[in-house]
């Protein structure tokens, strides 16, 4: 029997209750180290995602996507996804960094019940910056890759797209539930590529390493784990947690920093991935990998730029380029891609001053 509010015949979401014993503290590496089998979370998500693909819940059928690493030191991962470029829902009109939620526009209370795969619930109390009581894992109907989902905290509350510490902590816990080295999370803020002004995170599997996982960073505020990540496609502020014990504080610090950016009239994107400590791969040798969270400050951008080969949001900033056209995929160079990415970012002197401001904010 269909649950209340569901259409007859639609599959029901599964309650996925987890505790700290489900966290994969030493996730699989790219070399296929021991422990690389999918976790309970990976199996539940991917099996249900594939089921919805077979049932026709997506806007297009996603097969293997042409992928190549662009020559150059940044190791940008380019991927051709023509159907996402042509079939996805047009982005909402965003005109302000503080635009309120509009119930008349498309939002996630309108998705079909069958689009929801899982209801994530943490067993027992979680402490400060506690995750939402229930986090919905729903398909992205226009997927980037296999397993591309949205994490939705209590959609009925109608929260705008401004990152909160409980949502970020819940997303980081989801990252620790996965054993896949390429399970990534991200947030596009208003004026920074957000296409729906309703609070959500993206999560997806990408089967390629990215430079942002391993590049060393310059310390800015060591007691709070804040560093500046340079030598990557888009310089970012880096936060790091070695394991689940540090997630609540990390989530609060990232959101305090993001709030500071918004108050200064800047847009922001966030990206989370398993990665090395801020000191880089050499520092990881003693204690393994944890979670890296990158925060990008950028000039607000409202609407798509005419003539641009791609829009710049969390994926592109991290070095992953989903491209909508075969000629661009075939011909784009690292230098061209970096120019397109970096024109949205702050000049280096402004970025360095902002880093000093954030260090003072968090230290205080």
| Catalytic residue status for 200 | yes
Query: Of the candidates 77, 88, 38, 81, which has an alpha carbon nearest to the alpha carbon of residue 63?
Result: 81
For helices 165-177 and 40-55, give the axis angle rounded to 10 degrees.
100
For residue 100, what are the CA distances in angstroms to 105, 127, 158, 161? 11, 29, 9, 9
The rounded distance, in Å, linking the Cα atoms of 349 and 296 is 15
Helix%, strand%, coil% for the chain, nearest 5: 30, 20, 45
Distances (CA, A) of 124 to 130, 131, 133, 245: 11, 11, 10, 15
The C-alpha R_g of the chain, in whole angstroms, comes to: 19
Is beta strand 135-139 parallel, antiparallel or unpaired with respect to 67-69?
A: unpaired
One of 148, 180, 198, 200 is an active-site residue; which one?
200
Three-state DSSP class for 140? coil
- Burial code (b: 16+ CB inside 10 Å, e: under 16) for 229-247 equals beebbbbbbbbbbeebebb
Q: Cα–Cα–Cα angle for 57, 58, 63, nearest 5°? A: 125
Alpha-carbon separation of residue 148 from 47, 145, 166, 185, 274 (angstroms): 13, 6, 21, 10, 17
CA atoms within 13 A on the CB side of 144: 24
- Is residue 276 classed as helix, strand or coil in its secondary structure? coil
Nearest-angstrom CA–CA distance, 70 and 230: 19
- 3-state DSSP call for residue 285? helix
The catalytic residues are: 200
């Amino acid at each position: 029997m269909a649950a209340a509010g569901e259409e007859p015949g639609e599959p029901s979401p599964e309650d996925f209750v987890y505790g700290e014993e489900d966290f994969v503290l030493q996730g699989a590496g790219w070399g296929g180290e021991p422990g690389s089998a999918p976790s309970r979370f990976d199996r539940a998500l991917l099996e249900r995602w594939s089921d919805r693909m077979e049932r026709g819940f997506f806007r297009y059928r996603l097969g293997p996507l042409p992928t190549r690493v662009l020559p150059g030191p940044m190791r940008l991962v380019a991927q051709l996804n023509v159907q996402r470029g042509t079939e996805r829902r047009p982005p909402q009109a965003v005109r302000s960094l503080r635009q309120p939620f509009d119930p008349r526009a498309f939002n996630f209370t309108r998705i079909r019940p069958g689009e929801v795969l899982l209801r994530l619930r943490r067993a027992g109390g979680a402490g400060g910056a506690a995750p939402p009581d229930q986090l919905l894992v729903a398909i992205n109907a226009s997927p980037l890759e296999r397993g591309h989902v949205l994490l939705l905290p209590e959609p009925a509350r109608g929260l705008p797209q401004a990152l909160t510490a409980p949502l970020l902590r819940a997303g980081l816990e989801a990252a620790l539930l996965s054993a896949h080295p390429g399970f990534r999370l991200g947030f596009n803020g208003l004026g920074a590529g957000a296409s729906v002004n309703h609070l959500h995170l993206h999560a997806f599997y990408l089967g390629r390493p990215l430079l942002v996982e391993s590049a060393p960073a310059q310390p800015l505020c060591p007691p709070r784990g804040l560093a500046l990540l340079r030598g990557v496609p888009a310089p970012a502020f880096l936060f790091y947690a070695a394991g689940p014990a540090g997630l609540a504080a990390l989530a609060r610090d990232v959101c305090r920093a993001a709030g500071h950016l918004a108050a200064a009239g800047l847009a922001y994107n966030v990206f989370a991935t398993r990665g090395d400590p801020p000191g880089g791969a050499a520092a990881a040798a003693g204690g393994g990998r944890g979670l890296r969270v990158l925060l990008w400050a950028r000039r607000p951008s409202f609407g798509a730029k005419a003539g641009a080969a791609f829009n710049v949001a969390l994926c592109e900033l991290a070095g992953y380029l989903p491209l909508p056209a075969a000629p661009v995929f075939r011909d784009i160079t690292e230098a061209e891609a970096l120019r397109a990415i970096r024109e949205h970012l702050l000049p280096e002197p402004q970025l360095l001053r902002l880093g000093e401001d954030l260090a003072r904010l968090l230290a205080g």
